[in-house]
């Protein structure tokens, strides 16, 4: 087990002035979080000098690997130029053109900083376009932490009602319950139940906000039939279909799930891998909707750091690399290899578990049967997850502690590192079997 004395000292300093000693609660750990000084390729280095094999990779944002040279060189040039924010950077135009070259189904794109901001812009557009206020989302989907979308994410199923009538549940203290109660919560991948709700309430909806791959509860793709049904319902009832691809955009395919399924939304949100970890998000879609954000035409689209000089330089460098699909194909093949070796190790250990992968993303579930929605994913065995990841942590492999989260590799996770992961997974599954 590695020494973490410096991280313990840093936690003591931070916790006195920063709640939990971290900038986001997802980095909180027991007995204390780790603090990092640098990263390269597939590894991150902590304050004690320990090298960690990263299976988080910025929640899939660092798809090309930490410190990827072409992106870092573009960022270094941007830093040397001294241009940060407050004016429009030339690199914004380069990034926008590179985006449209990669993601070919939309008409226009606009950049912002975070996924939460992109979600809010999309909802403002939808409400302005339809004259309606209510929105629908899927049970278990995460779209940021604002009051009206942080609803029924990791829901308590004892309080959530039946799959025929899902009750919207607030996710945190301090939420406006009047907004939560207005949200229509749909069952994922259940065409019949979803259409029954939409036929009843679709005429009241401004938007249906969808993760076409449910990824903050692991990795659960929508079926093409489900996506087609939602597309038909949006056209029938006049609401705006929004894909939240902040985590899956550029990861599964250059154009996202619209590419892999052939079913395009009206608007889509992108982020994470777009700038290989630099803070940036995008909203893209049909021209008549996008132009509503122009001055004096409808919803506001403002932000001092929108199109930040460093971020757009990173995106302008990363996007052409992601546009061909070669990176995605390589990572998908590596994911399939990991899933196959995981399945063999699980069978050898006699453990009911499977690894689901797509693009650079992956997650392991400890249960029998297929995972198709939140309610099936929630059956995963949390104690088995803890035993499994305890073995990973002992080997200095970075993971997320929530059994319903997600993990990722990168282009830097080469064959030698995949072998190392295979060994760790087998040891973790053995630990589960020995509980």
DSSP per-residue string spanning 312-381: HHHHHHHHHHHTTSHHHHHHHHHHHHHHHHHHHHHHHHT---EEEEETTEEEEE-SSS---SHHHHTTS-
Which of 243 and 104 is assigned the larger pLDDT? 243
Q: List the one residue out of 75, 63, 105 whose CA is nearest residue 321.
A: 63
Query: Quick one: 16 and 156 in the same domain?
Result: no
Would the CA dihedral through 214, 105, 292, 278 be positive or negative? positive
User: What value does the mean pLDDT of the chain take?
Assistant: 96
Region of 140 (left: φ > 0; alpha: ψ -120 to 50; beta: rest) is: left
pLDDT-based confidence at 245, cuts 50/70/90? very high
Query: Quick one: 158 and 28 in the same domain?
Result: no
**214/219 Cα distance (integer angstroms):** 6
Query: Quick one: 112 and 256 in the same domain?
Result: yes
pLDDT-based confidence at 197, cuts 50/70/90? very high
Whether 258 has a pLDDT exceeding 80, the answer reads: yes
Q: What is the pLDDT of residues 299-346, one digit of tens each?
A: 999 999 999 999 999 999 999 999 999 999 999 999 999 999 999 999
Collapsing DSSP to helix, strand or coil, 89 comes out as: coil
Overall number of domains in the chain: 2
Average pLDDT of the residues in 27-46: 96
Query: Quick one: 48 and 187 in the same domain?
Result: no
Q: List the one residue out of 198, 196, 92 whose CA is nearest residue 137.
A: 198
Rg (alpha carbons) of the chain, rounded to whole number: 21
Query: Quick one: 203 and 303 in the same domain?
Result: yes
Full residue range of the structural domain in which residue 421 is found: 5-67+325-433
Query: Quick one: 329 and 318 in the same domain?
Result: no
Query: Quick one: 267 and 362 in the same domain?
Result: no
Query: Quick one: 365 and 268 in the same domain?
Result: no
Identify the pLDDT of residue 1.
Answer: 62
Average pLDDT of the residues in 100-127: 97
pLDDT-based confidence at 380, cuts 50/70/90? very high
Q: What is the pLDDT of residues 49-108, one digit of tens each?
A: 999 999 999 999 999 999 999 999 999 999 999 999 999 999 999 999 999 999 999 999
**178/201 Cα distance (integer angstroms):** 18
Tokens of 367: 């249960």
**354/51 Cα distance (integer angstroms):** 27
Among 322, 342, 368, which residue terminates a domain? 322
Whether 396 has a pLDDT exceeding 80, the answer reads: yes
Cα atoms found within 13 Å of the Cα of residue 67, Cβ hemisphere only: 9
Among 301, 322, 343, which residue terminates a domain? 322
Residue 173: partners with Cβ closer than 8 Å, 6 or more residues away: none
Q: List the one residue out of 68, 206, 66 whose CA is nearest residue 133.
A: 206
Identify the pLDDT of residue 326.
Answer: 97
Whether 148 has a pLDDT exceeding 80, the answer reads: yes
CATH number of residue 96's parent domain: 3.40.640.10
Among 297, 322, 347, which residue terminates a domain? 322
CATH number of residue 411's parent domain: 3.90.1150.10
Query: Quick one: 421 and 329 in the same domain?
Result: yes
Query: Quick one: 62 and 14 in the same domain?
Result: yes
Backbone angles phi, psi at 107, to 5 degrees: -95, -35
Query: Quick one: 273 and 315 in the same domain?
Result: yes
Query: Quick one: 97 and 211 in the same domain?
Result: yes
Q: What is the pLDDT of residues 5-30, one digit of tens each?
A: 999 999 999 999 999 999 999 899 99
Whether 2 has a pLDDT exceeding 90, the answer reads: no
Show the beta-strand stretches assigned E in 142-270: 161-162, 165-166, 184-186, 205-210, 213-214, 220-221, 240-245, 267-270
DSSP tag of 156: -
**CB 141, CB 216: distance < 8 Å:** yes
13: number of Cβ within 10 Å: 11
């Amino acid at each position: 087990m590695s020494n973490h004395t410096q991280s313990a000292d840093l936690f003591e300093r931070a916790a006195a002035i920063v709640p939990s000693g971290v900038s986001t609660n997802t980095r909180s750990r027991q007995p204390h979080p780790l603090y990092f000084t640098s990263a390269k390729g597939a590894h991150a280095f902590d304050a004690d000098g320990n090298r960690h094999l990263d299976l988080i990779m910025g929640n899939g944002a660092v798809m090309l690997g930490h410190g990827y040279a072409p992106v870092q060189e573009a960022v270094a040039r941007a830093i040397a130029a001294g241009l940060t924010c407050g004016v429009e950077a030339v690199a914004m135009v380069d990034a926008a053109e590179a985006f449209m070259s990669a993601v070919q189904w939309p008409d226009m794109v606009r950049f912002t900083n975070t996924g939460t901001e992109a979600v809010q812009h999309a909802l403002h557009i939808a409400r302005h376009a339809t004259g309606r206020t209510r929105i629908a989302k899927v049970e278990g989907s995460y779209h940021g932490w604002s009051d009206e979308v942080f609803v029924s994410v990791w829901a308590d199923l004892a309080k959530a009602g039946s799959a025929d009538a899902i009750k919207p549940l607030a996710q945190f203290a301090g939420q406006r319950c009047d907004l939560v109660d207005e949200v229509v919560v749909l069952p994922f991948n259940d065409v019949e139940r979803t259409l029954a709700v939409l036929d009843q309430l679709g005429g009241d909806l401004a938007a249906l906000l969808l993760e076409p791959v449910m990824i903050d509860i692991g990795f659960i793709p929508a079926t093409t039939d489900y996506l087609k049904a939602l597309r038909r319902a949006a056209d029938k009832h006049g609401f705006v279909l929004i894909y939240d691809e902040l985590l899956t955009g550029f990861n599964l395919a250059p154009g996202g799930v619209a590419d892999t399924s052939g079913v395009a939304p009206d608007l889509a949100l992108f982020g994470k891998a777009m700038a290989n970890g630099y803070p940036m998000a995008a909203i893209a879609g049909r021209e008549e909707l996008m132009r509503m954000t122009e001055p004096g035409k409808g919803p506001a689209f403002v932000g001092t750091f929108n199109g930040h000089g460093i971020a757009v330089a990173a995106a302008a460098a990363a996007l052409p690399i992601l546009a061909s699909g070669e990176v995605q194909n390589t990572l998908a093949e590596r994911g399939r290899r990991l899933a196959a070796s995981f399945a063999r190790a699980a069978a050898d250990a006699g453990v009911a578990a499977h690894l689901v992968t797509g693009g650079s993303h992956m997650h392991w579930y400890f249960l029998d049967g297929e995972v198709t929605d939140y309610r099936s994913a929630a059956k995963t065995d949390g104690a088995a997850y803890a035993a499994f990841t305890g073995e990973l942590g002992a080997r200095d492999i970075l993971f997320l502690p929530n059994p319903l989260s997600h993990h990722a590799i990168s282009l830097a996770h080469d064959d030698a590192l995949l072998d190392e992961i295979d060994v760790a997974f087998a040891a973790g599954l053995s630990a589960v079997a020995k509980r």
